[in-house]
Amino acid sequence: MNAERVDLMSKLQIKRSTLRSRTLSLIQWREHLTGYIFLAPSLLLFGVFLFYPLLKTIYLSFQTTDPTGKVVKFAGLANYSELFRTAEFMNSLKVTALFSLYTVPAGIILALLLGVLTHSKAKGMKGFQFIFSLPISISVGTGAIIWMMLFHPSMGTLNYFLHLMGFHPIFWLSDPHWALISVSLMTVWMNLGFNYIVLLGGIKGIPDDILDSAKIDGVGPIRQLFNITIPLLSPTLFFLLIVSMISSFQAFGQVNIMTSGGPMQRTNVVVFQVYQEAFVNFHFGSGSAQALILFAIIFVMTLIQFTVLERKVHYQ
């Protein structure tokens, strides 16, 4: 009887453990299903507006299209090999690199200086912080129109001040030597609001005890900036560098509105070249190949930044 009772008890325990495991599996399955149900709208939007266009771009990059944009035949790697023999595309890579060089360092350095100067509890600093943050609320189209008025050769404000100082007027957007610099100035101003807000938030996150101790030790403002503020801001600066670099390689709106890639293709950045090739010339195969090459360049540059520059970031 005792043996039978022990055997019965063991069977009951096995059944209970089996039932408990099935119940837990059912609960986990229901939780996963609930999570996927809540994620379904986002996954649908990502699929329609991100994954499908990406797959379509990859497909079109290996095809040849007719003047109406319809696929004619499989081209293989011909679209890619032809690009590096095309003067327009190579020029667009050069212009984009210069545009990034003009805008990224200047935008971050200017925002950092303004953040350091306005990080104070003095009276009136809130007003300056509000003014320097304003560009983030202005769209690319509006900003481009504003700066086109400032750059106007005869009625523009900039040439008016040059005239007062005795200089000759500059044809900011029509002179090949000044066009890219002019668009870069507008872009630095347009990105200033975002850069300033991020860096000001990073500066406010630095403990006051560290800055007060430095002042007590007789550390001047310049040494404090380079030896304390910038090292403690390195995670924020690293983030801004990544975001600004990607944004500079994707610039399109200001170029399209202000110069349309001219004069003499001096402002023909890669994204505008892709737009011209795909939606003006209806060469969707070549345009898709250019877009994927741009994606590869951005990916490689971001990977290099994470591999090399992140080592110099000091996380608290």
Beta bridge partners of 73: 64
Determine the average pLDDT of the residues in 248-254: 95
Domain presence at residue 12:
yes
> What letter represents residue 76's amino acid?
G
Do 113 and 257 lie in a common domain? Answer: yes
C-alpha 234/C-alpha 208 separation (Å) is 17
Cross-strand bridge partners of residue 74: 63
More confident residue, 259 or 217: 259
Using the predicted structure, report yes or no on whether residue 5 has a pLDDT greater than 70: no
pLDDT at 10: 64
Cα distances (Å, whole numbers) of residue 146 to 186, 195, 248, 263: 9, 20, 20, 20
Tokens 């990977």 sit on residue: 303
Same domain (yes/no): 1, 137: no
Answer yes or no: is 68 within a domain: no
Residue 8 has pLDDT above 70, yes or no: no
Residue 71 gets which letter from DSSP?
A: E
For residue 167, the 8-state DSSP code is: P
Mean pLDDT, rounded, for 237-254: 95
Domain membership of residue 173 (yes or no) is yes
| Terminal C-alpha separation, the chain | 68
| 187 and 247 housed in the same domain | yes
Residue 104 to residue 197: CA distance in whole angstroms: 16
| Residue 33 amino acid letter | L
**What is the CB neighbour count within 10 angstroms for residue 228?**
16
Res 18: pLDDT: 66
Domain that holds residue 31: 1-51
Is position 58 within any domain? no
Task: Say whether both 11 and 135 belong to one domain.
Answer: no
Please report which confidence band the pLDDT of residue 308 belongs to, taking 50, 70 and 90 as the band edges: confident
Kindly state whether residue 258 falls inside one of the protein's structural domains: yes
Pick from 100, 298, 107: nearest CA to 194: 107
pLDDT exceeds cutoff 80 at 222: yes
- Is residue 278 within 8 Å of 287, Cβ to Cβ? yes
Asked if residue 37 and residue 167 are part of one domain, the reply reads: no
Return left, alpha or beta for 218; rule: phi > 0 is left, psi -120 to 50 is alpha, else beta: left
pLDDT tens figures, 196-210: 999 999 999 888 888
Question: Look-up: residue for tokens 């994606």?
Answer: 295
Per the domain annotation, does 122 fall within a domain? yes
CATH of residue 260: 1.10.3720.10
Asked whether residue 251 falls in the same domain as residue 110, the answer is: yes
1, pLDDT greater than 70: no
Same domain, 214 and 156: yes
Is residue 72 situated within a structural domain?
no
pLDDT grade for 24, boundaries at 50, 70 and 90 = low
- Average pLDDT value for residue range 164-186: 94
Same structural domain, 227 and 279 = yes
Confidence at residue 300, expressed as pLDDT on a 0 to 100 scale: 95
Whether residue 79 is predicted with pLDDT greater than 70 in this model: the reply is yes
Percentage of residues of the chain with pLDDT beyond 90: 61
Alpha-helical (H) ranges within the chain are 2-46, 52-60, 78-83, 87-118, 125-133, 140-150, 157-164, 179-204, 208-216, 221-224, 230-232, 234-249, 253-258, 270-275, 284-308
Given this model, what pLDDT does residue 220 score?
84
> Are 109 and 149 found together in one domain?
yes
Q: Which residue has the higher pLDDT, 218 or 80?
A: 80
Same-domain check for residues 179 and 245? yes
How many separate domains does the chain show? 2
> What are the pLDDT digits (tens) for 154-170?
889 999 999 999 999 99
Looking at the fold, whether 46 and 82 belong to one and the same domain comes out as no
- 234 and 89 in a common domain: yes
Rounded to an integer, what distance in angstroms lies between the CA atom of residue 134 and that of residue 190? 9
42-59 residue pLDDT tens? 989 989 998 999 999 999
Say if 63 falls within a structural domain. Answer: no
What's the pLDDT at 4?
57
